Amino acid sequence: MVAVADQLFKALADPTRRTILDELTEKSGQTLFEICSRLSMRHRLGISRQAVSQHLAVLESAGLVETRREGRYKFHDLNTAPLRHIAERWPLPDASGPEGNTP
Amino acid sequence: MKIHMTSVFVDDQAQAEQFYTEVLGFVKKHDVPVGESDRWLTVVSPDEPDGTELLLEPAAHPAARTYRDALVKDGIPLAQFAVQDVQAEYQRLRGLGVRFTQDPLEMGPVTTAVLDDTCGNLIQIATVPQ
């Protein structure tokens, strides 16, 4: 459990990796080429393909990205399920409850 | 100096001729037998019959397969063609059963999409602002 959390927080600590997650939120199932295109064209990130691959490997080890082989192609999918660990560890205030913090 | 011809390696020249003419809409320019079974096979854009030729070259060399497979796995296109409207072309080609590995994506002034040419390559189509 501690190891899972360490990998998760390490993965989320980097702004480029958070940008990759943003782009996968917009559209899951991207090739490495599409992820690289989005980072360079939309975010002006001058980053090599190898570096993007390494970021994806960190995200994959945290379970936030899953890869899928489809024929000759390889796609990257978003998996937000590991984020549940955060809310379970530090529960969110219940907005609908009697002590809700709704303004 | 000018770019007169460029090439893509194709698994099967007959299949490539069919895909590049009937599906993508290019026009055959040269078709000359070479050796036992290969052809010097080129296509051009119908809009530019005297423009740059695309050579559909047999991918017989073992290194060609390794090279192309690695690029295809990561979704990297080998050639880029300009179209008037990526979205419209995407719809048209999808209707013909073409497989896209990247749906139309707007990136600033450029829109691109990436398709499988069924001959071992990925091709990018792009609308570039005039």
Write out the two tokens for B120.
Answer: 């071992």
What does the pLDDT read at residue B128? 77
Domain housing B90: 5-127
Residue A98 within a domain: no
Q: CB distance B102–A30 less than 8 Å? A: yes
- Please give, rounded to a whole number of angstroms, the shortest distance from the CA of A48 to a CA of chain B: 14
What does the pLDDT read at residue A78? 98
Quick one: closest CA in A to B73, which residue?
A73
Domain housing A73: 2-89
Percentage of chain B lying above the pLDDT 90 cut = 90
Query: Total structural domains in chain B?
Result: 1
Q: Residue B101's Cα: distance from chain center in Å?
A: 14
- Please give, rounded to a whole number of angstroms, the shortest distance from the CA of B39 to a CA of chain A: 27
Residue numbers in B near A32 (CB within 8 A): 74-76
Residue A100 within a domain: no
What does the pLDDT read at residue A46? 86
- Closest CA relative to residue B11, chosen from B113, B122, B124, B120: B120
Quick one: closest CA in B to A71, which residue?
B73
Query: Total structural domains in chain A?
Result: 1
- Please give, rounded to a whole number of angstroms, the shortest distance from the CA of B74 to a CA of chain A: 5
What count of other Cβ atoms lies within 10 Å of the Cβ of residue A2?
6
What does the pLDDT read at residue A100? 47
Residue A94 within a domain: no
Q: CB distance B75–A38 less than 8 Å? A: no
Asked whether A92 and A99 are in contact (CB, 8 A), the reply is no
- Closest CA relative to residue B125, chosen from B42, A57, A64, B91: B91
ipTM: 0.88
What does the pLDDT read at residue A2? 64
Average pLDDT over residues A80-88: 91
- B45 pLDDT more than 70: yes
- Closest CA relative to residue A25, chosen from A86, A62, A78, A82: A78
What does the pLDDT read at residue A97? 58
Residue A99 within a domain: no
Residue A103 within a domain: no
Residue A26 within a domain: yes
Q: CB distance B75–A41 less than 8 Å? A: no
Residue A40 within a domain: yes
Mutation for testing the A interface, residue in B74, B78, B100 having most A CBs under 10 Å? B74
- CATH number of the domain to which B104 belongs: 3.10.180.10
Asked whether A62 and A10 are in contact (CB, 8 A), the reply is yes
Round to whole Å and give the CA distance between A87 and B28: 61
Of B75, B103, B110, the CB nearest to A33: B75
- CATH number of the domain to which A47 belongs: 1.10.10.10
A15-34 pLDDT per residue, tens: 999 999 999 999 999 999 99
B84-115 pLDDT per residue, tens: 999 999 999 999 999 999 999 998 889 999 99
B62-80 pLDDT per residue, tens: 899 899 999 999 999 999 9
Which amino acid is it at A46? G
Q: Does B114 touch chain A (CB under 8 A)?
A: yes
- B6 pLDDT more than 80: yes
Q: DSSP states of A6-40 as a string?
A: HHHHHHHT-HHHHHHHHHHHHSS-B-HHHHHHIII
- A101 pLDDT more than 70: no
Distances (CA, A) of B114 to A73, B31, B85: 12, 27, 14
Handedness of CA B114, A66, A46, B105 (dihedral sign): positive
Quick one: closest CA in B to A26, which residue?
B105
